[in-house]
Structure 1
Amino acid sequence: MNATFKTTNVSYFLTKASFSNEGVNTLPSEGFDRAEREITGWDGYAKTPLESLERLAEQLNLREIYYKDEGPRFGLGSFKALGGAYAVQCVLARAISQRVGKDVSLDDIRNGIYAEQAAQITVTSATDGNHGRSVAWGATRFGAQCRIYIHAEVSEHRAEVMRGLGAEVVRVDGDYDASVAQARREAEENGWLVVSDTSWPGYTQPPLDVMAGYGVMAREIVRDLPTPPTHVFLQGGVGGLAASVAAVFQQEWGAKAPQVIIVEPELAPCLYASGKANAPTLVEIQEETLMAGLSCGEPSELAWSVLAAVSRGFMTIPESVVAPAVRLLANGDASQSAINAGESAVAGLAGVMWAASDPQAREDFNLGTGSRVVLIGSEGVTDPNVFQQIMAGEI
């Protein structure tokens, strides 16, 4: 195993999960039920693979490591395909219901019953790439207009993909949080509908829809595993992925649900800081992380309410471990088959590799020969240029 993971400096701390109903009930099972019924009926739906990283598990002296590979999801390259597009459908149903004065169902939106009304609506969002791709795809699928805001460091390849899906793409000076602010401001000025994966005071329903969509992925994992895992290492960002997966696991497995460890870039540790403060905490992004989808300085308050209840620990990882983790998967060193992953997909992988290799962390996280770990491979190769640079050792 690459020595980088044994010698790198990682910060972490443990918490005591409360499993409070207030937190877990933020994402009720009924919302996951509704999203699952709808999304699994979409054209192109297929369950993504849960790969066994048996070679890596043996090297780390763990029983099993499972890697949920979201690269094939709906041809969009990431788990985000489940959330943004579903939220667009829900937002359109609610907006058109108000305009026509009667209930409009998700079936109505999917079947184009109100295509004329949908075509008059613009949905908008800020993104590092994958969420915007899903929102653009959903807008095209359901007949709405789409405007996506990206920050200065989002690659042009990711912007071109969103344009190819029918979105107007606006590049904003500043970081991700600046793009969120501009998307909100211009939506209010123009009467557009924001479809964000993060929440703020007074804005909660679309992020709930987004996280409900992510639950499809988590439920696939539950159905693929004969017994609950002992640990799940989840990447951070604004917290939506982690909250959704943790909530589903808690609902499905109860007291047998795995320990939840949140892993973030040390350059964007808003959930780590929130865990320290025991409250949603803003951090200022000074430098963009290679893990573009995790470069978020402000947590979603909804997601935090779940993570505060279920998280067992928080960890930040340095940039130096990202490229080696991507190469480890792609070279077939972790499993019998090669897995091509994007930069944001390997945060949990890097986290468990370090934790299992450090004697104190291994003890603190209760990692041992019987441990069965789940990781979320949240994206495939969403930017081929970056992937090629990583594989060539240029990053």
Structure 2
Amino acid sequence: MTDPYTGMIVDAHHADQRGTGSYPATLARALNSHFTADALAIISQWPGYTPTPLLALSGMAADAGVGSVLYKHEASRFGLGSFKALGGGYAVFRLLAQRIEEETGHVPQVADLLAGCYRDITRKVTVTCATDGNHGRSVAWGASLFGCNSVIFVHGTVTRQRAEEIARLGARIVRDPGNYDDAVRAANAAGEANGWLVVSDTSYEGYMTVPLDVMRGYGVLLHETLAQLGNRQPTHVFLQGGVGGFAAAIISGLWEHYGESCPRIIIVEPENAACLLLSARNGRPSVVSGLHDTIMAGLACGEPSLVAWPYVEGAVSNYLAIPDEAVRVAIRQLAQGRGQPPVIAGESGAAGLAGFLVAATDAPVRQTLGLDGQSCVLLIGTEGATDVQMWESITGRRLEQPT
């Protein structure tokens, strides 16, 4: 296979774990199908809810020499362009529902919150978080949907367009000159000082409950995917890294569903922000320092989420660190269609696909992963073109609709 992805693996780590055996009870206590069902019961009542499509990328499968490539395309999720709406929005709902119950003694119904029946309570609440773009957008959207205020911290390399998209949802934007992890600390400090509710998608000592709600919201994505797969069982799943919350949510659902037959799970990260790879290599959560400069803005994270790490460590067999150029090539190939309708993907959204295609061209890695003509590869296209200018600069095309 002649391909521009040749030689693009910057770093790789083989961890031996394969999620063998049944889903551990210690992990199932926090993430399981019952929590997913609870999240789905709430999220399915929100305006605009519909499962996102699972696409078969037959041309890419043929080029990569595998049996099939299935791509869960999140660009249309609630009009926000990414899967993050499931997590941030759900966590905002849970926090507001808790506040309302504390003040009224009643558990609020979704329809009543949407209708503004508790506006006298919610308008006094401010939620805050740090973001690379999509999580902050989902929190701001949830705040707008349910009638509270939002203050979103963005770090130094978040593009102006991404910050403006968040502001359009009514959020106040605060820019921190550091990296994502610096913005997390700034949001936490501001939340504590002002009595705001922190809605973080990463966890740390003393802060676990809200990130778990975020991850439980993400579980709805996997619930949809399993239904769409039917009798097709993936052999390989390539997942974007970041802090690990998204990966952990998908891992938990796969492991619980498939048990001993759980697919091989591979984590893909930017070369400058491969904190999960480093953590696996060190055998403990580890920090990657620096600004984590990468076009994969949603993955520009230097510290693993503590609540997510046990899921990642327990199930992931391989970790790949790739350069930005691999993602640029993947975005262009998706946009070209390669014999089927074009797919519009953002930089973080295409990272899993890029990692797979890079691995498929590297003979030793391909052999280690067991990729062959019978493989069924599952990918999650986590975002559409959430930064239209970036997408247009990468593809050289004009984008009319970012889905």
TM-score (norm 2): 0.94
List per-residue Cα deviations over 1:243-270 (Å, max 9, x = no partner).
1111111122222221111110011011
Matches of residues 17-166 of structure 1 in structure 2 within 5 Å?
Answer: 17-18=18-19, 20-104=24-108, 106=110, 108-166=112-170
> 5+ residue gaps in structure 1?
none
Judge conservation of contact 1:17–1:308 (CA < 8 Å) in 2: no
Aligned equivalents of 2:106 and 2:47: distance in 1? 27
CA RMSD in angstroms comes to: 1.6
List per-residue Cα deviations over 1:260-295 (Å, max 9, x = no partner).
111100110111111112221111134411100100
Shift of 1:105: 5.3
Correspondence for 1:192: 196
SS state at 2:237 partner:
strand
Correspondence for 1:310: 315
Q: Which amino acid aligns with 1:319?
A: D
Shift of 1:202: 1.1
Correspondence for 2:401: none
Shift of 1:234: 0.1
Aligned equivalents of 1:287 and 1:242: distance in 2? 19
Q: Which amino acid aligns with 1:6?
A: T
Q: Are 1:297 and 2:275 matched, yes or no?
A: no
Change (3 A) 1:2 1:215: farther
Judge conservation of contact 1:27–1:212 (CA < 8 Å) in 2: yes
Change (3 A) 1:107 1:306: farther
Shift of 1:108: 4.6
Q: Which amino acid aligns with 1:17?
A: R
Change (3 A) 1:51 1:189: same
List per-residue Cα deviations over 1:214-263 (Å, max 9, x = no partner).
11111111011122210100000111111111111112222222111111
Question: Which of 214, 220, 230 is the matching residue for 1:216?
Answer: 220
SS state at 1:139 partner:
helix
Change (3 A) 1:75 1:103: closer
Correspondence for 1:202: 206
List per-residue Cα deviations over 1:94-117 (Å, max 9, x = no partner).
123223355445555344332210
Shift of 1:324: 0.7
Change (3 A) 1:295 1:219: same
Change (3 A) 1:286 1:179: closer
Aligned equivalents of 2:148 and 2:317: distance in 1? 41
Identity over aligned residues, as a percent?
44
List per-residue Cα deviations over 1:311-370 (Å, max 9, x = no partner).
11111111221111110100112x511001000011111111121121111111111111
SS state at 2:239 partner:
strand
Aligned equivalents of 1:337 and 1:100: distance in 2? 51
Q: Are 1:246 and 2:247 matched, yes or no?
A: no
Question: Which of 324, 328, 339 is the matching residue for 2:329?
Answer: 324
Aligned length: 392
Aligned equivalents of 1:194 and 1:150: distance in 2? 14
Shift of 1:385: 0.7
Change (3 A) 1:252 1:112: farther
SS state at 1:368 partner:
coil
List per-residue Cα deviations over 1:153-176 (Å, max 9, x = no partner).
111111111111010111111111
SS state at 1:314 partner:
strand
Judge conservation of contact 2:9–2:320 (CA < 8 Å) in 1: no
Aligned equivalents of 1:165 and 1:220: distance in 2? 27
SS state at 1:45 partner:
coil
Q: Which amino acid aligns with 1:167?
A: A
Change (3 A) 1:339 1:37: same
List per-residue Cα deviations over 1:144-196 (Å, max 9, x = no partner).
01110001111111111111101011111111111100000010001000011
Aligned equivalents of 1:355 and 1:266: distance in 2? 15
Aligned equivalents of 1:2 and 1:64: distance in 2? 19
Judge conservation of contact 2:9–2:359 (CA < 8 Å) in 1: no
Judge conservation of contact 2:292–2:302 (CA < 8 Å) in 1: no
Aligned equivalents of 2:292 and 2:10: distance in 1? 18
Q: Are 1:271 and 2:272 matched, yes or no?
A: no
Aligned equivalents of 1:305 and 1:99: distance in 2? 36
Aligned equivalents of 2:381 and 2:154: distance in 1? 23
Q: Are 1:12 and 2:20 matched, yes or no?
A: no
Judge conservation of contact 1:200–1:301 (CA < 8 Å) in 2: yes
Change (3 A) 1:24 1:314: farther
Q: Are 1:344 and 2:344 matched, yes or no?
A: no
Aligned equivalents of 2:122 and 2:25: distance in 1? 37
Change (3 A) 1:194 1:2: farther
SS state at 2:190 partner:
helix
Judge conservation of contact 1:39–1:45 (CA < 8 Å) in 2: yes
Judge conservation of contact 2:359–2:366 (CA < 8 Å) in 1: yes
> 5+ residue gaps in structure 2?
398-403
Judge conservation of contact 1:66–1:374 (CA < 8 Å) in 2: yes
TM-score (norm 1): 0.95
